[in-house]
Amino acid sequence: MNTWRKLADRFDQEPRLSLWAIGIWVALNVIQAIFTELFHDEAYYWMFSQHLAWGYFEHPPMIALMIRTGTLLSDTELGVRLFPILCNALALLLILDMAGPRKRLLLLVLLFSVFEVHIGGFFAAPDAPLSLFATLYFYMLRRYLANDGWANVFLFALVISAMLYSKYHGAMVLFFTICSFPALLTRRSFWLLGITSVVLCLPLLLHLYGQNFGTFAFHLGDRVHKPWSPEFTLNFLGGQILIAGPISGLILLPAAFLYKTKDRWERALKWSLAGVLLFLFAMSFRTWIEANWSASIFVPTLVLAFKYISEYERWERWAWRIALPGIVVLLLFRIHLVVPFVPGLNTLRNEVHGWKEWAHQIEEIAGDEPVLFYNSYAQPSKYTYYTRKLAYPLNNFLYHTTQYEAWGIEDSLQGRPAWYFTTEGGCTSCDTVRTATGKLFYYQRINPFYSYPYLRMDIVSPPAEVVSGQDVELDVQIRSLKGEIRFDRNPEFPVSLVVFVMQKGVWKYYLPAFVDMTPMKIGPEGLVQRIKIPCKMPPGDYEWYVTYSSGWMHPGMVSHFVPFRVIAPSK
């Protein structure tokens, strides 16, 4: 411990050593970015950058703008990750400044033992700009609380708007900051700050209004269509320890909560930390919560934990004992992403290696023709990134809406030859290929390809209860959101109406309605089709999903889940 104390004293006396440490850290992240293929989400966000907008279905535009700018400088994986690397470095420098000049080495060791710092050091995702601007938010908050002059108000508003343009989750720290210090509402400068921030965010707000704020409905419930299970909450709790660790999370989170705040700024940190975690914990009883949704409280966790640990020698000793092995584990993990050497981590390897070869394998089959992938935003994104050729996801009701549906790409595919690739099977006439990622794909050329992106189906006045063992009659309204829809343009893929029955988020029954849609012509006025299907489900709670099938291709996403109850027949 004496050796570490001498080294720590050296860091305290020579601040430039901290800058050297951050410089080495940036170099490590650059090397990692060069030699690691894109993760699935990174390829998806690269697609965002090819369609710049004020917002996207899942996220605000900041990461797309950063990737677009970075790839203008270098059209490589490094270009995709360049600005996230810089965001990470700037955030660490700001944290060093906010924590004060004492025990810098301890703080650096704690920082480098955190999973979020490592993966966020090079990973191109909305969390990268969010982490930077959330750090700047708490930095400016301290300045604003000390001096609410016009200059600080304007700079603070810029930071707040940048944080919200990065990820909507940043709004949580704004709310809990006000909760920590309600007297802010009595400051004239606070209302000026709020008005300025809203004006700067107007394009984003108009985008959200234009999509009926569907982003929030998606994130807070529609992402996962299955009922709550203990796994949701246990995953959230374990994820918070992992993202603050994987080992150091065992000491950082308790230390942050044990620290007794000494001023308004520290109280705001504490309220933000507790408020965000409690809110997400409560939401985990409703839907699936990703561990990184708490990225906005990275600064409160680190700063408060460091302040508490540095006050108590016993905690500091344990911090060293826990943090150093954590750094070793994380460095080995990062090496594995470049040179895989742990057999048990092949799943992680398969997300970042082999996909360039995978894309060229499929390209050899498809040539210059478009490629369609089943229920995946990642595969078309990876294929387009590594080949620069057109790809698109065909998603069904077991998946979820993605940004692809908003780009209008599907319109350009109508009537053209295309190749359909799926790992799900279900096609006896398909060829197969074992790809570099280890997955077996079924594929077939479709000429001409037609799909029905503007087709919508709704059950009119659905019954709340049906009797098990009896036939059920349903009136299905079929309509077009745009123009006329015909189903007779490719006889090899006849279109028919089908009904699926779900229970607790799992597909249970497939009920063909024996309605041939091929001769139909559907316009905006639509038509109502009565169908009769057998109710062969035992008593219980279920959901209808009415859709269409097109030959052997998987059914489309054109409807809504409609709950109903099956009751036993009366005796």
Identify which of 21-30, 417-426, 482-491 has the greatest average pLDDT. 21-30
Tokens, residue 282: 């409560």
The pLDDT of 124-132, averaged and rounded, is 96
Residue by residue, DSSP assigns 275-340 as: HHHHHHHHHTTTS---GGGGGGGHHHHHHHHHHHHHH-HHHHHHHHHHHHHHHHHHHHHHHHHHS-
Question: What number of H helices and E strands is found in the chain?
Answer: 22, 15
pLDDT higher than threshold 80 for residue 317:
yes
Local confidence band at 384 (pLDDT 50, 70, 90 cut-offs): very high
pLDDT higher than threshold 90 for residue 566:
yes
The pLDDT of 409-429, averaged and rounded, is 89
What b/e string do you get for 113-126 counting C-beta neighbours within 10 Å, with b at 16 or more?
bbbbbbbbbbbbbb
pLDDT at 5: 66
- Within 8 A by CB and 6+ apart from 182, the residues are none
User: Per residue in 45-97, pLDDT tens?
Assistant: 999 999 999 999 889 999 999 999 999 999 999 999 999 999 999 999 999 99
Longest dimension (CA), the chain: 87
pLDDT at 346: 57
Local confidence band at 512 (pLDDT 50, 70, 90 cut-offs): confident
Sequence spans of domains, the chain: 2-338, 354-446, 455-567
pLDDT at 212: 79
Whether pTM exceeds 0.85: yes
Lowest mean pLDDT among 11-25, 113-127, 419-433, 526-540: 11-25
Q: 503: buried, middle or exposed (CB in 10 Å: 19+, 13-18, 0-12)?
A: middle
- Return mean pLDDT, the chain: 90
Taking the C-alpha atoms of residue 145 and residue 141, their distance in angstroms, rounded to an integer, is: 6
pLDDT higher than threshold 90 for residue 223:
no
Helix, strand, coil percentages (3-state) for the chain, rounded to 5, are 55, 15, 30
Identify which of 161-165, 403-407, 531-535 has the greatest average pLDDT. 161-165
> Which is it for the CA torsion 409, 412, 415, 417, positive or negative?
negative
pLDDT at 57: 87
Asked whether 340 and 349 are in contact (CB, 8 A), the reply is yes
Instruction: To the nearest 10°, report the CA torsion of 2, 8, 13, 15.
Output: 170
Taking the C-alpha atoms of residue 354 and residue 245, their distance in angstroms, rounded to an integer, is: 28
| Domain range 455-567, CATH architecture | Sandwich (2.60)
pLDDT higher than threshold 70 for residue 168:
yes
Taking the C-alpha atoms of residue 310 and residue 244, their distance in angstroms, rounded to an integer, is: 18
CB neighbourhood size of 109 (10 A): 21
pLDDT at 541: 93
The pLDDT of 285-311, averaged and rounded, is 91
Local confidence band at 189 (pLDDT 50, 70, 90 cut-offs): very high
pLDDT higher than threshold 90 for residue 352:
no
**DSSP bridge partners of 475:** 460, 530
Lowest mean pLDDT among 80-89, 427-436, 478-487: 427-436
Taking the C-alpha atoms of residue 415 and residue 139, their distance in angstroms, rounded to an integer, is: 55
Taking the C-alpha atoms of residue 222 and residue 240, their distance in angstroms, rounded to an integer, is: 22
SS3 567: strand
Residue by residue, DSSP assigns 203-224 as: HHHHHHHHTTTHHHHIIIIISS
The pLDDT of 215-225, averaged and rounded, is 68
pLDDT higher than threshold 90 for residue 390:
yes
pLDDT higher than threshold 60 for residue 345:
no
User: Per residue in 486-505, pLDDT tens?
Assistant: 999 888 889 999 999 998 88
The pLDDT of 306-319, averaged and rounded, is 92
Asked whether 540 and 565 are in contact (CB, 8 A), the reply is yes
pLDDT at 529: 93
The pLDDT of 354-382, averaged and rounded, is 95
pLDDT at 570: 80
- Percent of the chain scored above 90 by pLDDT? 67
Residue type, 34: I
pLDDT higher than threshold 60 for residue 484:
yes
Asked whether 456 and 479 are in contact (CB, 8 A), the reply is yes
pLDDT at 2: 62
Q: Which residue has the higher pLDDT, 447 or 344?
A: 447
Strand 418-422 with 391-394, pairing: unpaired
- Percent of the chain scored above 70 by pLDDT? 95
Whether the link from the prior residue into 448 is cis, omega within 30° of 0, is yes
Asked whether 295 and 131 are in contact (CB, 8 A), the reply is yes
Tokens, residue 517: 């849609």
